[in-house]
Amino acid sequence: DTAVSQTPKYLVTQMGNDKSIKCEQNLGHDTMYWYKQDSKKFLKIMFSYNNKELIINETVPNRFSPKSPDKAHLNLHINSLELGDSAVYFCASTLEGGRGEQYFGPGTRLTVT
């Protein structure tokens, strides 16, 4: 049983395209996150959702739009993809309102050509 899953695992696309990454957790957690890990392995929080409500929106271009249809899902839609969007995107979730252990998904490696 995978606790936090993401699809797809790999995504290769061209500049200007629109793509989505899906995330699901079956842990019953209330809070979910999206992180971006760049080529230097820097890990930066992008968004945080608590019970389907946006809590954190870090300095992220508005081409990135998270959507949470229910508290078990947090999807990330990216419009007009740019070369700099190439990275590994991790979804994560926590139970304790942001102070507990984070459970990470396997990551989605996005390559924009």
Partner 1 sequence: AQRVTQPEKLLSVFKGAPVELKCNYSYSGSPELFWYVQYSRQRLQLLLRHISRESIKGFTADLNKGETSFHLKKPFAQEEDSAMYYCAPSNTGNQFYFGTGTSLTVIP
Window of 20-28, 60-68, 69-77, 96-104 that interacts with partner 1 by CB under 8 A: 96-104
**Is residue 95 a contact residue for partner 1 (CB under 8 A)?**
no
Window of 16-24, 50-58, 63-71, 76-84 that interacts with partner 1 by CB under 8 A: 50-58
Q: Kindly report the three-state secondary structure assignment for every residue of the chain.
A: CCCEEEECCEEEECCCCCEEEEEEECCCCCEEEEEEECCCCCEEEEEEEECCEEEEECCCCCCEEEEEEECCEEEEEECCCCHHHCEEEEEEEECCCCCCCCEECCCEEEEEC
Of 14, 39, 41, 62, which one interacts with partner 1 (CB under 8 A)?
41
- For partner 1, give the closer residue by CB, 18 or 96: 96
Residues that bind partner 1 (CB under 8 A): 4, 31, 33, 35, 41-45, 48, 50, 55-56, 90, 92, 94, 97-99, 101-102, 104-107
